[in-house]
Amino acid sequence: MDEIQKTDKIEEVTKKVNEVLDLSKIEDLIKKNEIEFELDGQKYRIKKPDFKQKQEAYQKRIEKFTELLGNEKYLLEDALKKMYLKRGIDIDGMFKKTVQLQKERDSFSMKLGELIANKGSESEMEQYRLEIERVNREIQEFSMKRTVFLEFSIENQVLIYTYSYLTSMITEKLIKDGDSEKWVNVWNSLEEFQQDKEKVSNRISYYAAFIIGMDADV
């Protein structure tokens, strides 16, 4: 894939992310550690992974890394970074900038959370919402560039696998249960998640990635 194709792909993915992300969902996450949304008339809920789920995902991560490390078709990130650096592309610089932006976003999120908890003024909350939106756009740009450039590295393939595995475990849907309703798992396995409709799995994946990405233990 040449540089023009990479840039086009980054812009396309960023556009899709912006189409599905909703700042009101960020507020749900701040208040309840979960995100609820509706798609095609079906209500979904994505909750932050608990300790057991994170431990299971960690074991799966080890297994996948060991598997790919034994396959000569895949390269480690360091090898790819050196190749890109020779062409003037600083992948580590992108990562450092992303980390700085994430800290900035987390600071804004905490302040927004405090305003929500203390019933602050709507104008102040809107200011922080706009700042979070701005920082998120910058994070997306750097993250997408880094992801595309390192798409086929062993570490990235393992990360995608881990996020997919966690997403398949932490996503629920609301169903009728007699005269009441209850939340049940959307998928019973990673394989079911991978085979699901693109529209459903893509929307859920974006929200799940946001939740998982905010958890430092994952």
State pLDDT tens for residues 104-153: 998 988 888 888 888 888 888 899 889 998 998 888 888 888 888 988 89
Query: pTM here?
Result: 0.62
Q: What is the residue-averaged pLDDT of the chain? A: 83
Q: What is the largest CA-CA distance in the chain?
A: 64
Residues 6+ apart with CB under 8 A from 132: 23, 26, 105, 108, 109, 112
pLDDT at 178 over 80: yes
The pLDDT-based confidence of 213 (bands split at 50, 70, 90) is confident
> Taken in order 194, 199, 204, 205, is the CA torsion positive or negative?
positive
- Looking up tokens 């079906």 gives 42
Q: Look up residue 118 and give its amino acid.
A: N
Residue from 174, 177, 176 nearest 185 by CA: 174
Beta bridge partners of 40: none
CB neighbours of residue 213 within 10 Å: 13
SS3 content of the chain, % helix, strand, coil (to 5): 70, 10, 20
Q: Where are the beta strands (DSSP E) in the chain?
A: 34-39, 42-47, 171-177, 180-185
- Of 28-32, 99-103, 114-118, 120-124, where does mean pLDDT reach its minimum? 28-32
CA atoms of 101 and 122, how far apart (whole Å): 24
Q: Where are the beta strands (DSSP E) in 69-194?
A: 171-177, 180-185
The pLDDT-based confidence of 16 (bands split at 50, 70, 90) is very low
Q: Which pairs count as long-range contacts for 141-145, CB under 8 Å and 24+ apart, including other chains? A: 141/10, 141/14, 142/94, 142/95, 142/97, 142/98, 142/101, 143/98, 144/10, 144/13, 144/14, 145/6, 145/10, 145/94
Residues in the chain: 218
* Sheet containing strand 34-39, strands side by side: 34-39, 42-47, 171-177, 180-185
Mean pLDDT over 20-27 rounds to 53
The pLDDT-based confidence of 217 (bands split at 50, 70, 90) is low
